[in-house]
Amino acid sequence: MRRLIFVLPLIVLAALVGIFVLGLNPNRDPRAIDSPLIGKQVAVFTAPAFATDQPGIADSDLLSGAYKGQVVAINFFASWCVPCRAEHPLLRKLSAETGMPVLGLAWKDKKQALQGFLDELGNPYARIGTDDTGRIGIVDFGITGVPETFIIDKQGIIRERIGGPLSDDLIETHLLPLIKELQK
Amino acid sequence: MRHPAQRWIAGLLVGCATFLALSSPSFAVRPDELLSDPALEARAQEISRGIRCVVCQTESIDESDADIAHDLRVLVREQLKAGATDDQVRAFLVARYGDFILLKPPFEARTFLIWTGPFLLLIGAGAGIFLFYRKTQRREAAPLTAAEEARLQRFMAPPDDNTTQTNATQTNATQGNATHSKGGDRS
């Protein structure tokens, strides 16, 4: 009993050190927010088309339309968003390596600026829908900003959310295996 | 005549007071967001103060100048106008952003330790300290041995001008010490 008084602080210290070491894990981002939408059916939404020769994007496209039974990515982006520029080439790589269509949702963007952005960097998107008010992003996908990428499975269920720009490392180690698994 | 330092301090105080009087608390809500119904607006602000801005994260949407905070403030007001209750508005946001969007985490099994942890720690530490001191106190209050009692009686006895008595006391005191150290071994 007496010895416990001396041992107890050491046990507490060891526990605290353990918690701190876990907190120092470089792969842990304390700012990352887990989306409660993961595992849920994609919300009902309709994003008007950006191009005149292409339709917009709606949830019905994933559930019963052109992308029925396919794994797709929805990428929220904007021409004014600097990290979006950085991840732009990776979107093409992502769709090229998996065959998965990447659908773009231009968040709070202007048509002209968006056209300039695509002319400059190329268009990796299978389709582009517009979310001028930002409401589709906020209300239907709970995004905190752009870029954000959602992976939606064959049944139209949101499987992953990447809040922030994609990186080579993230694609190689996480997204490619996940998408291949979902495509099976 | 006043000391120069006094004057300097007085000047500083007046300066601070003027600064505080002129500066208003940061007010992120834009005039065009405000609802015309003051009761509804008050509810909107009350809710907004408890909703975390998802980009600044340490500010509520009521305080934040971030664009998305503005969007969420407008969203909260639209929902209230449409007749939603405060809880419904919060639930709407939680469904999209998770419990994280609430500055105060809800009280449930998962967050039990967050809310009660400090109090549990306080009660535990208090109980530990209480038990520790009660034990030491009990040890101090151990009854005197017969020899200690006799020695104490001798010291307590009224003073007597007898040299032989003094000698006898000294001898007894030595004996008493021996007995005492024996008692010390026991504890």
**Residues in Cβ contact with B22 at an 8 Å cutoff, skipping those fewer than 6 apart:** none
Q: How far apart are CA A164 and CA A143, in angstroms?
A: 10
Residue A56 pLDDT? 93
And the tokens for A176?
Answer: 């490619």
Residue of A144, A146, A158, A161 to mutate for B, most B C-beta atoms under 10 A: A144
Q: How far apart are CA A56 and CA A49, in angstroms?
A: 3
Task: State whether ipTM is beyond 0.90.
Answer: no
Q: Are B140 and B169 in contact (CB under 8 A)?
A: no
Which ranges of chain B does DSSP label H, i.e. alpha helix? 4-22, 38-49, 67-81, 86-97, 112-140, 146-156, 163-186
Q: How far apart are CA B4 and CA A152, in angstroms?
A: 73
Residue B55 pLDDT? 86
Interface touch B68/A144, C-beta < 8 Å: yes
Least reliable range by pLDDT among A49-53, B32-36, B120-124: B32-36
State which fold the A37-183 domain adopts: Glutaredoxin (3.40.30)
B137: left (phi over 0), alpha (psi -120 to 50) or beta: alpha
The H or E element containing residue A46 is: strand A46-47
pLDDT confidence band for B184 (50 / 70 / 90): very low
Query: Is residue A41 over pLDDT 90?
Result: yes
Query: Is residue A130 over pLDDT 50?
Result: yes
Residues of B near A (Cβ–Cβ under 8 Å) read 54-55, 57, 67-68, 71-72, 75, 94-98, 100, 132
Query: Is residue A137 over pLDDT 90?
Result: yes
How do the domains of chain B map onto residue ranges? 1-106, 109-140, 146-186
Of A33, A108, A135, the CB nearest to B54: A33
Q: How far apart are CA A71 and CA A135, in angstroms?
A: 24
Task: Report the residue of chain A nearest B100, measured CA to CA.
Answer: A33
Q: Are A100 and A94 in contact (CB under 8 A)?
A: yes
How do the domains of chain A map onto residue ranges? 37-183
Interface touch A138/B98, C-beta < 8 Å: no
- Name every chain A residue with its beta carbon within 8 A of the beta carbon of B97: 33, 35-36, 142, 144
How does DSSP classify residue B158? P
Nearest to A108 by CA among A86, A87, A129, A83: A129
Residue of A33, A35, A38, A80 to mutate for B, most B C-beta atoms under 10 A: A33
Q: Strands A102-107, A127-131: parallel, antiparallel or unpaired by DSSP?
A: parallel
Q: Taking the CA atoms of A63, A179, A137 and A42 in sequence, report the sign of the dihedral they define.
A: positive
Interface touch B97/A33, C-beta < 8 Å: yes
Q: Taking the CA atoms of A92, A151, A153 and A49 in sequence, report the sign of the dihedral they define.
A: negative
Query: Is residue B26 over pLDDT 90?
Result: no
- Name every chain B residue with its beta carbon within 8 A of the beta carbon of A34: 98, 100
CA distances from A132 to A7, A14, A76, B61 (A): 62, 52, 12, 21
Nearest CA distance, A97 vs chain B (angstrom): 31
- Strand, helix or coil at B167? helix
Interface touch A36/B95, C-beta < 8 Å: yes
And the tokens for B32?
Answer: 């065009």
Can you give the pTM of this predicted structure? 0.71
pLDDT tens sequence across B42-95: 999 999 999 999 888 789 999 999 999 999 999 999 999 999 999 999 999 999
Cis peptide before A147 (omega within 30 of 0): yes
Interface touch A5/B97, C-beta < 8 Å: no
Query: Position of tokens 């150290």?
Result: B181
Exposed, middle or buried by CB within 10 Å (0-12, 13-18, 19+), for B103? Answer: middle
Q: Which residue has the higher pLDDT, B79 or B12?
A: B79
Residue B139 pLDDT? 63
How does DSSP classify residue B104? S
Average pLDDT, integer, range A80-90: 94
And the tokens for B120?
Answer: 């549990």
Query: Position of tokens 């608390």?
Result: B25
And the tokens for B179?
Answer: 């007995």
pLDDT tens sequence across A143-170: 999 999 999 999 999 999 999 999 999 9
Interface touch A37/B55, C-beta < 8 Å: no
Q: How far apart are CA A59 and CA A92, in angstroms?
A: 22
Nearest CA distance, A61 vs chain B (angstrom): 22
Residue B144 pLDDT? 82
Interface touch B75/A142, C-beta < 8 Å: no
State which fold the B1-106 domain adopts: Helicase, Ruva Protein; domain 3 (1.10.8)
